[in-house]
Amino acid sequence: MHIPDGIIDGTTSAGYAAVAAGGLGVALRRTGAYLSEREVPLAALVAAFVFAAQMVNFPVIAGMSGHLLGGVLAAVLVGPAAGFVVLTVVLIVQALVFADGGLSALGVNVVDMALVGAVGGYAVFAVTARLLGGIRRRIPLAAAVAAFLSVPLAAAGFVLAFAIGGTAGVSLTKLAVAMLGSHVLIGVGEAVITGVVVGAVMAGRPDLVFGARRLGEEVAA
Amino acid sequence: MTIEPRTKRFVLGGLLVAVVVAAVVSQFASLRPDGLEYVADQQGFADNTIEHPAAGSPLADYGAGVTDNGVVGKAVAGLIGVAVTFGVGYGLLWAANRKRRGAGT
């Protein structure tokens, strides 16, 4: 769902870029406040893994594929602030090195995938984990549910950007139906990948999963 | 650096997985348009796309132009991408972490 240049107008893109830059500043400050030194390489690994996984488009329906967004995956593993930073790094590298995602559209993509995908997705995860009883064993399931919902959520974020500054006169209702319909299907793939990866890390090194530590504190409190 | 050996092993193992996904599994990726591209075609705003200024670079589209061999090109692009995202992420987060600790050691 990397938006290329030319789809969202310049003024709107500049506004989104300002929000994205401000968000990155806040995210870096918050990350510095909780991420320990040993977690820095872990968060960098999450960035590398999300980049890698985004290269693997999976077929969804005839004529359409999807790929991991990775926001919920990153936020559950390293926390929402570091998750925002991780997704932003991936998007910057993709736009600057691989010409994937527009340059003027970078801010819109960061807001859509890092802010909505990782930070918004983590909020959905936190609520879901609580609804599932706050049980550690159910963390991969909660992550999968949040991952599923995060994809249509990010798609709605695109529709909003298009409503504000879209360069083509298309029906917003039709656009919303098409974006949400297609991305609900892609969300299934997002849920499977996120659930499997979070499950694997929980099985081997649950101490490295931010979402699990946070849950433990709440249960203990 | 106060990183326990088993965490170091976890990171190295994870990087190995990322390299395999980016260089090998990516070879089997679907070539169909992704969700946004599909909707853009369907709703008729794909034509508004302005070509990326670096669209002609060797790494554009994940290595299409690195060599004549698409498999090698994609593998090289995947390796570079994993290395660059890890390096940039490490640097940025390390700096954020160091700043909190008062730019000490």
Considering just the CA atoms, what is the radius of gyration of chain A in Å?
A: 17
The token pair at A38 is: 């040993």
Average pLDDT, chain A: 95
Q: Which of A13, A30, A40 to mutate to test the interface with B (most CBs of B within 10 A)?
A: A40
Average pLDDT over residues B57-76: 88
The token pair at A218 is: 């709440």
The token pair at B102 is: 């008062």
Q: What are phi and psi of B20, to 5 degrees?
A: -65, -40
Judge whether A8 and A167 are in contact, CB under 8 Å: yes
Kindly indicate the confidence band of residue A220, based on its pLDDT and cuts at 50, 70 and 90: very low
Which has the closest alpha carbon to B34: A148, A182, A162? A182
pLDDT tens-digit map of A29-50 = 999 999 998 899 999 999 999 9
- What are the residue ranges of helices labelled H in chain A? 10-34, 39-54, 71-78, 80-97, 106-109, 121-131, 139-165, 172-204, 210-220
- What are the residue ranges of helices labelled H in chain B? 5-23, 35-43, 60-63, 70-100
Triad A42, A112, A116: Cα angle to 5° = 70
- Is A126 domain-assigned? yes
Considering chain B, what percentage of its residues have pLDDT values greater than 90? 74
> Domain tally for chain A?
1
Kindly indicate the confidence band of residue B103, based on its pLDDT and cuts at 50, 70 and 90: low
Q: CA–CA separation, B41 vs A131, rounded Å?
A: 39
Residue A194 pLDDT: 98
The yes-or-no verdict on residue A216 having pLDDT over 70 is no
Query: Residue B13: which domain range?
Result: 5-100
pLDDT tens-digit map of B16-34 = 999 999 999 999 999 999 9
Kindly indicate the confidence band of residue B99, based on its pLDDT and cuts at 50, 70 and 90: confident
- Is A208 domain-assigned? yes
- The beta-carbon neighbor of A51 closest among B2, B17, B85 is B85
Question: Which single residue is written with the structure tokens 């991969």?
Answer: A140
pLDDT tens-digit map of A69-98 = 999 999 999 999 999 999 999 999 999 999
- Is B78 domain-assigned? yes
The yes-or-no verdict on residue A175 having pLDDT over 60 is yes
Which has the closest alpha carbon to A92: A42, A151, A21, A187? A21
CB pair distance less than 8 Å for B89 and A182: no
The 3-state DSSP class for residue A65 equals strand
The yes-or-no verdict on residue B59 having pLDDT over 50 is yes
The 3-state DSSP class for residue B38 equals helix
> Domain tally for chain B?
1
- Is B105 domain-assigned? no
- The beta-carbon neighbor of A45 closest among B15, B53, B84 is B15
Query: Residue A189: which domain range?
Result: 10-212
Which has the closest alpha carbon to A50: A32, A68, A30? A68
Q: B40: which chain A residues are within 8 Å (Cβ-Cβ)?
A: 7
pLDDT tens-digit map of A144-169 = 999 999 999 999 999 999 999 999 98
- Is A4 domain-assigned? no
The yes-or-no verdict on residue A221 having pLDDT over 50 is no
CATH number of the domain within which A157 lies: 1.10.1760.20
